[in-house]
Structure 1
């Protein structure tokens, strides 16, 4: 190919990319303005259940009772609450780890009230003992057989059977059955965002870095009270290290929440529309996997953008070390340490998060 022809091809390609970028910007601007008036319009709920999936007629409609009676009090389910399951996947990209199966090292509920603009991040301990389903390699759907094992094994079982999407859906199912407290509540977990923890620095860099203030000394990260901008090396230490910190797993959960809160602060500082355009290429590639569409991301980003102070975002965890027991794990074939969820506390917390007392 001649030099002049190569230049023409390059210019043509560049012009095409510019045109595509302009069209995307116009589309985002137009969609965003429409979503600000009615953010719930882009959320059509899907029921993720044991071997079945079906669309509901409209977002906010309930598959079960709208009211719950607990300890003599009646509660009504909140409308227009979107739940996104945030998952940090423990995988370093190696074939050896892929054969072992990916696990969700971070599992966090992000509950967004579209009407009030309230946002809550609720961490679920990865080692929580709960029901986890076997997944069909043919359909990618959960089968009837369930194991009482660790919550983080749900993604692993789905991934080994049928890949990342099956892993995410199986994790969503395990979380839903856990937080619905034996079927007493109706809390659809309908959307997910998962990221291999190895790629978190790329996500942070897309927003100009994530700044956190350390609550205690962390080797390789910084000292107590120091405000640091997490880089590629320190992000993984901050999010995954549970050794050498005062409260082990619970401290790690708080670090994960603080990272997400600071990440949301970066989104807010940049503005919803610009942040969505910056993140969408990441959402479309290998860094992040999600079932959220662009217009849904824009709607959620706009709600987050409306939060006046990032400190208003609720960070919730469950009680700590005294709730651990060593029990036999049917998948591992040996004893292991479990976090034993207090069912009464879980019921009260989920009622507070998803229901209003009448």
Structure 2
């Protein structure tokens, strides 16, 4: 297991909560600088963005780093729902400027978040412009701020990596339990023990995400989130315009956690020329894209 890792899951949930509730509220009241991106009004009552977890110790070291996790997220305030599509990092795709096909997690290494967004846009045939990029440090602070997250640990999880910085020890027992920030990181970092490899890890991340959102949206926790703003600015990078962040922040509490739809790009692992790839099922993927993101399709999917 690598020492640097980002969990697709914690990314989405944390960015969703912080960006749309804590950040907007704090900015309106304290005048912190806005994220990068054109500050143009968003007339739609929803937003589509790519969540990127970077395989780097923090965002100051992310140049040239691969994405550890990727999720496409649509938040719709009219339906009070959230659609999340996980993208396995080994998905075999075309990346502009590269010969042949590569793993999708290499897009960021070759062209930053802009190329990662472009690659996903071309893969799915969607109008996609926005991204949210984070490092794992924000997870521990956010989970502790809301009093922990209750999840079902599907199996005993144990792993040691003394070469990691800091040294990594994962030691969780099977069963339903409330994880604090440190144990949440262990849960999200665990990778080697799932029978179906990265797909098992994605399911665990998705379970964690839904539980985090449910916990964070409780009234008692909404008032705690603004204190996470300093951590947000240290550990999150986004090009979502300030006007959109503010609008979503003021309405995010409307989200119904029963309307969180989680899916993963369908496919199977395959070795090609000595490299392990995830080969997506194009027909099944087209169906999922139409169901989850139909309003954003720009081609014939």
Tell whether the structures are fold-level matches, with TM greater than 0.5. yes
Q: Any residues of structure 2 matched to 1:8-157 within 5 Å, and which?
A: 27-28=28-29, 59=42, 80-93=45-58, 101-134=64-97, 147-157=100-110
| Shift in CA distance, 316/92, structure 1 to aligned 2, threshold 3 Å | same
Q: Which one of 141, 147, 157 corresponds to residue 202 of structure 1? A: 141
Is 1:343 aligned to residue 290 of structure 2?
no
Q: Which residue of 2 aligns with 1:258?
A: 207
The whole-number CA distance in structure 2 between the counterparts of 1:350 and 1:303 is: 26
- Which runs of 5 or more residues in structure 1 are unaligned? 1-23, 30-44, 47-54, 61-78, 135-144, 159-166, 181-186, 329-334
Alignment of 1:304-319 (within 5 A): 304-308=252-256, 310-319=257-266
Structure 2 equivalent of residue 240 of structure 1: 189
Taking structure 1 as the reference length, the TM-score comes to 0.61
SS of 2:133's equivalent in the other structure is strand
Residue 176 of structure 1 aligns with which residue?
A: 121
Q: Which structure: larger Rg?
A: 1
In structure 1, C-alpha distance between the alignment counterparts of 2:242 and 2:102, rounded to whole Å? 35
Query: What does residue 33 of structure 2 align with?
Result: none
CA distance in 2, matches of 1:201, 1:121: 22
CA change 1:25–1:91 in 2 (3 A) is closer
The CA distance in 2 between the partners of 1:278 and 1:146, in whole Å, is 46
**Gap runs ≥5 in structure 2:** 1-24, 31-36, 159-169, 296-301
- Which residue number corresponds to residue 65 of structure 1? none
Residues 268-322 of structure 1: CA deviation (Å, up to 9, x unaligned): 114796365233322222x1112234553343345442134x24311112346xx
Q: Partners of 2:67 and 2:145 in 1: how far apart?
A: 23
Alignment partners' CA distance in 2, 1:301 and 1:266: 17
Q: Could you tell me how far apart the structure 2 residues matched to 1:26 and 1:204 are? A: 22
Is the aligned partner of 1:211 residue 2:150?
A: yes
- Cα 1:272–1:241 change in 2 (3 A) is closer
Cα root mean square deviation, aligned: 3.2
Equivalent residue in structure 2 for 1:297, among 235, 242, 245:
245
Give runs of ≥4 in structure 1 deviating > 6 Å.
none
State which of 236, 239, 243 in structure 2 corresponds to 1:288: 236
What secondary structure sits across from 2:244 in the alignment?
Answer: helix
Q: Is the 8 A contact 1:193 1:288 kept in 2?
A: yes
CA 1:349–1:98: 2 relative to 1, 3 Å = closer
Q: In 1, distance between residues paired with 2:85 and 2:221?
A: 22
Decide whether the 8 Å contact of 1:271 with 1:305 is kept in 2: no
Contact 2:86 2:263 in 1 (8 A): yes
RCO (CA 8 Å, sep 6+): is it higher in 1 or 2? 2
Whole-Å Cα distance in 2 between the matches of residues 155 and 270 of structure 1? 37
SS of the residue aligned with 1:351? helix
**1:277 match: secondary structure:** helix
